[in-house]
Structure 1
C-alpha cells in the first residue's frame, strides 16, 4: 500500500531543512587555534544540517543532548531553543514517536518568548510550521510557512514546509510553484529528492527516477544517502518492479542497517517475490524501528493474506489503540476494509471538512463511502484521487471496484486492469481481488456500445421521386 502514503524520507528532509536554518550559528565552534580536532557527534549533526543533509540518528540525539545541556546554562538563547525544537521534530518524525512533538512545541514557543516574531525570529516560526506538518495539521503549517515566506522569500528552507502543507490541503498547483522556487534558490540532495516526489505526484515516473538518482549522487551523509536509496526503492516498487526495489532498499540498509522505511520497503518487495517469511521478519524489524500507522495496516494485511488471522487482528488492534500524529487515512482504510465502514466515512468526512483534501484523503473517503454502500457518491472522490496525476495502483483499483458496483463495466474493466499494470503486487489482499474482478468482467464485447454505434443511413427514395 505504499502508493497511498507520503514518503517519510521526504517529510524528514523538510524538517531537516528547518534544522539547517540554525546550523551556521554553531559551526564556528569547530574553529580554533592549531589543527582542528575531528568533529564530535553533535558537531557532525550541525555540519550535516548546514549542508541541508540528514544527520545520522545517533548524531541527532547527541545534538539534542548538547542543546539541552547548553540551555540549562543559557536559557535566554532563542536560537538554541529553535534548533532544539527542530531537532525534536526531526527525531520524532524519524522514529515515529509523537512524544517528541510536545517537546518541540515547548522549545519553539520558548524561542519566540525570548525573541518574538515581531523581532524577526523566523527560525522558530519556520520550526512551528514544520512541526505542524509533522502532526498533519496542514492549515497551521501553511500559515506559518507563508508568514516566513512573506518576511524572507529567499529563505529556501521554507519551501519544503510549504510543499508538504499545500499537498496535504490538495493545493497541488501551489505545491508545484513552491517546488519551482526551491529549485531556483537551492540545490543538493534535499532539493533533488523533493523534485523526485513532485514528479512522482504528477505521474512523471522517468523524471522522478532521474531526480532520485541525482539525490543519491549528491547525498553527503550516510543517513541522507540511505533516505535517497529508499526513495528510489519506493519508485521501483510503485512501478511494479520488486527485484529492483529490493536492490535499492538493500543499498539503503547497507548504509543504515535499521533504516525503517527501507525495512518496510524490503518487506513488501519480499512478499511480492514469494518470500513471505522473510517479509514478516522485515515487517517485525520495521515496526520495532518505525511503528507508523500505514505500516501496521500493511503488515496486518500480509498476515491476513497468509491465513494468520490472529496476528493480523493484533496489529489492527494496535493501530486502533495507538496515538498517531498522522493516522487518519490508515485508520479509515482499516475500518473500511475490516468491519466499520460507517466509522471510516465519519473519520474521512471530518478530514475533508478540515480542508485536508489531498489525493490520499479523497481516495480513502471514496473507498469508505463505497464500502458503506454509497458507490455513486464514492465515485466523485475516487475520480479526484486518480485524476490529479499520481499513478497509484491502489487508487486505480478502488475506482475500478466502485465503477463495477455502479454497473459501469467498461470503465471498471479498464481501471482494474490498469491497477494491475501499474503494480501487479500492490497489495497482498487487494491485488488478487483485482485479478479476480478482471477475470469476472471478461473481455470487452466485440460490438460497440449503442451510444457509440454509427447511425444507420436513411433509406434511399425510389428512382424518379424527389425527396420531400
Structure 2
C-alpha cells in the first residue's frame, strides 16, 4: 500500500500554465502528490491536450523569442519538476535545476517564483531541509504566495515538524482554498488518523477540480484512502469514476491492481501491475509488482523486477534523488539487514518523521536489535494515522521481545485495518498472529 514517502509520491510539484499571449505566466495550481497521466508534448489526455506538456511547450517557445524572461524560466523549471514525477524520468530534474538557476541569474532579487520552484525540486529530490529553507525564503519575500506555503508545508511534514506543517497549511488554505491546499489538508488529517476529514478534504478537492487529470487524481487518492481501510468496493468505485475522467491513468490502475490482488483475481492484478510499471516505472511501483509476483511463488519473475529496481534507483540517484527509505524497507523485507540499517540510518539523519522511524525500527528488527527498534516503532505509530504496514512492523517487534499480549493487539489492529495491506507482508502478519494465539 501507499507509503507516504515513497519516491516522488509526495514531491512538491507546481504546475504552471504558460500562456502564449504576451508571454504572461499564470499559476493554475500546485500539487504535492498529484498523479497526472504522463504525456509528452503534443499528446492528449482524456481527449484534451495535456496541460503539463502544453505548459512546457509554451514556455519553451516563449523563451526562444524572449530568452531574458525570468518569469517563464521559473515556470519552465517548475514544470520540469512535475514532468519528472509524472513520467518517472529523473533527467528532468537537471533540466529543472538549469531553468530555475537561469531565472535567478536574470532576476536574483525578489524572485519568489524561482525560489518556490527550487523548493519543489528539493522536495522532489528528498532534500527536505533545503526545501524548508527555500520555502521560508519564498514566504518572507511574498507572504501571500500559496505556492510558497505549500512547499513549506511539504518540507516540514517530511522533517517531522507536524505543528509547523499544520500552521503553514492553514495559511495556504486561507490564501487559496483549492485543490492544492485541500489535498494537503487531506494528507495532514490522514497523518493524524482522522480519516473522516481526510476524505472530506479530498471531496472538496474533487469539487474544485478543473481538469480531467485533477478529477482522476482525486479519485485515485479517495480510492487509496478507502483501500487503506480495507473497503475494496469503495476503492473500486472511485477507480471506475476516475478512469471515466482519464482512461489509463497509472495511479488509478495501481489502485485497481491492488483491489484485484486483494480479491484474488490474479490475472487482472498481474495485468494491472504490469501496465503501471510500463507507464510509470517508479522504484516503489516496480517493487510492489515484484512483491506480488513473489507472493504468488513466481520468484524468478520477481527477481527480474527487483533487478529493474536497482537500475531505476541508479537513474534517480543520478538525478539527485535520495531514496534511502524504500531501500531500507526493501532490504529489511528481503534478508539484507546490513543494507537496511545503513539506508535507514541515513534516512533518519535526513528527516525525523514517522516514516523514517518506521524504516529504522524495521531495519533494526531485521538485524535482531529489537530492544532498540521498539521505541522507534512506537514513535512511528504514535500520531494515530499509522497504516497497516507500520502496525505490522511494531507487532513483529513486540512479538520478538516476548510482549505477546501487545503483539496480538497490534497485529490484530493491522489486519483489521486492511487484511490485504500487502500481498507479501499480510500473510506473514496473519501467520505471526496465529502463532501467538492463546491456547484454549
TM-score (norm 1): 0.85
Matches within 5 A, 1:224-373: 224-322=214-312, 323-324=315-316, 325-354=321-350, 356-373=351-368
Cα displacement string for residues 144-201 of structure 1 (whole angstroms, at most 9, x for unaligned residues): 0011111222211112211111111111111111111111111122222221111111
What runs of 5+ residues in structure 2 fail to find an aligned partner?
40-49
Matched with 1:78 is 70
Aligned to 1:2, what secondary structure does the other structure show?
A: coil
Seen in structure 2, the aligned counterparts of structure 1 residues 249 and 444 have a Cα distance that, compared at 3 Å, is: farther
For residues 190 and 252 of structure 1, the distance between their equivalents in structure 2, rounded to whole angstroms, comes to 18
Matches within 5 A, 1:447-466: none
Matched with 1:460 is none
C-alpha contact (below 8 Å) 1:316/1:334 kept by paired residues? no
How big is the shift at 1:59?
2.8
How big is the shift at 1:244?
1.2
Matched with 1:91 is 83
For residues 156 and 169 of structure 2, the distance between their equivalents in structure 1, rounded to whole angstroms, comes to 11
Aligned to 2:393, what secondary structure does the other structure show?
A: helix
Alignment partner of 2:185 out of 179, 188, 195:
195
Seen in structure 2, the aligned counterparts of structure 1 residues 146 and 277 have a Cα distance that, compared at 3 Å, is: same
Seen in structure 2, the aligned counterparts of structure 1 residues 226 and 9 have a Cα distance that, compared at 3 Å, is: farther
* Residue 416, structure 1, aligned to residue 416, structure 2: no
For residues 63 and 3 of structure 1, the distance between their equivalents in structure 2, rounded to whole angstroms, comes to 30
C-alpha contact (below 8 Å) 1:166/1:175 kept by paired residues? yes
C-alpha contact (below 8 Å) 2:7/2:282 kept by paired residues? no
C-alpha contact (below 8 Å) 1:10/1:197 kept by paired residues? no
How big is the shift at 1:62?
2.5
Seen in structure 2, the aligned counterparts of structure 1 residues 5 and 245 have a Cα distance that, compared at 3 Å, is: farther
C-alpha contact (below 8 Å) 1:393/1:420 kept by paired residues? yes
CA RMSD of aligned residues (A): 2.1
For residues 363 and 230 of structure 1, the distance between their equivalents in structure 2, rounded to whole angstroms, comes to 25
Matches within 5 A, 1:82-231: 82-116=74-108, 119-231=109-221
Matched with 2:398 is 403
Aligned to 2:144, what secondary structure does the other structure show?
A: coil
For residues 439 and 406 of structure 2, the distance between their equivalents in structure 1, rounded to whole angstroms, comes to 11
What runs of 5+ residues in structure 1 fail to find an aligned partner?
31-42, 446-468
How big is the shift at 1:8?
5.9
Matched with 1:455 is none
Matched with 2:46 is none
For residues 263 and 84 of structure 1, the distance between their equivalents in structure 2, rounded to whole angstroms, comes to 29
How big is the shift at 1:51?
5.4
Cα displacement string for residues 116-155 of structure 1 (whole angstroms, at most 9, x for unaligned residues): 0xx2111101110001111111011001001111122221
Alignment partner of 1:383 out of 378, 386, 402:
378
Q: How many residues align?
A: 420
How big is the shift at 1:73?
2.8
C-alpha contact (below 8 Å) 2:328/2:340 kept by paired residues? yes
For residues 310 and 416 of structure 2, the distance between their equivalents in structure 1, rounded to whole angstroms, comes to 32
Seen in structure 2, the aligned counterparts of structure 1 residues 6 and 206 have a Cα distance that, compared at 3 Å, is: farther
Aligned to 1:387, what secondary structure does the other structure show?
A: coil
Seen in structure 2, the aligned counterparts of structure 1 residues 416 and 432 have a Cα distance that, compared at 3 Å, is: same
Rg larger in structure:
1
Seen in structure 2, the aligned counterparts of structure 1 residues 444 and 145 have a Cα distance that, compared at 3 Å, is: farther
